[in-house]
Amino acid sequence: NAGVMQNPRHLVRRRGQEARLRCSPMKGHSHVYWYRQLPEEGLKFMVYLQKENIIDESGMPKERFSAEFPKEGPSILRIQQVVRGDSAAYFCASSPPDTYEQYFGPGTRLTVT
Amino acid sequence: QKEVEQNSGPLSVPEGAIASLNCTYSDRGSQSFFWYRQYSGKSPELIMFIYSNGDKEDGRFTAQLNKASQYVSLLIRDSQPSDSATYLCAVNKGGGFKTIFGAGTRLFVKA
């Protein structure tokens, strides 16, 4: 059973560019979560999605950030016009229907230069 | 007051001892509680979850929950150097799917 997959594992972007982070949940999982982790800090909830629906995006910055989980394909976290403060590890987690246990992918390390 | 609070540590215990990690939370509506282990540079790994008051044991790990005191703990018996990591307490806010993580407690197990 493949676990949660994320790509790319490392992403370097210049200020002002766009970053697209992808997440494929575990087989059978229909819920996807995105988190951001700054160095030496805890995980910060960003958004929770089910297929074709954003359920809770209360942790997403109001501008430049968006997320989707289409009917087909991976979930995408999109950051437009990146700034240095966006540099962080972004983790995706998935969970089976009707449970709260989350299983994490390896993360994408975003560096903004 | 932080929504989920943990002592940042580091907590240092000798090999073979019991490590005790503690966590308090502020939302009385929370129903689901989790412990994750995170090695440096790696992603969090779910090691325990508990939904009811009392103790839940899985191998060397025991999770304890006291909803009246808004307190959850993790005991690691027979600690091994490989247990050295940061342990994250996580709580579902208001009984829903949004999960709030504590900042983590760093554990060092000395050989």
Question: pLDDT by residue (tens digit) across A2-46?
Answer: 799 999 999 999 999 999 999 999 998 989 999 999 877 789 999
User: Which residue among A43, A91, A102 sits closest to B46, beta carbon to beta carbon?
Assistant: A102
The DSSP letter of residue B18 is P
As a whole number, mean pLDDT of residues A66-90 equals: 96
Whole-number pLDDT of residue A11:
98
Please state, for a pLDDT cut of 70, what percent of chain B lies above it: 99
Chain B residues in contact with chain A using a Cβ-Cβ cutoff of 8 Å = 32, 34, 36, 42-46, 49, 88, 90, 92, 96-104
Write phi, then psi, for A61 (nearest 5 degrees). Answer: -55, 145
Best mutation site among A26, A49, A95, A100 for testing chain B: the one with the most B CBs within 10 Å?
Answer: A100
Query: Which residues in chain B touch residue A49, judged by CB atoms under 8 angstroms apart?
Result: none
Residue in the block written with tokens 């940042």: B8
Q: How far apart are CA B62 and CA B50, in angstroms?
A: 10
Whole-number pLDDT of residue A110:
97
Of the ranges A53-62, B24-33, B95-104, which one carries the lowest mean pLDDT score?
A: B95-104
**Sheet strands (E) in B1-84:** 4-6, 11-14, 19-25, 33-38, 45-50, 54-58, 61-66, 71-76
User: Which residue among A35, A42, A93 sits closest to B104, beta carbon to beta carbon?
Assistant: A42
pLDDT at B97 over 80: yes
pLDDT at B93 over 60: yes
Best mutation site among A31, A43, A104 for testing chain B: the one with the most B CBs within 10 Å?
Answer: A43
Whether the CB-CB separation of B96 and B71 falls below 8 Å is answered with: no
As a whole number, mean pLDDT of residues B29-45 equals: 94
B47–chain A nearest CA distance, Å: 10
Whole-number pLDDT of residue B8:
83
Whole-number pLDDT of residue A93:
97
The DSSP letter of residue B93 is G
pLDDT at A1 over 60: no
As a whole number, mean pLDDT of residues B51-61 equals: 95
Q: Which two tokens stand for residue A41?
A: 């800090």
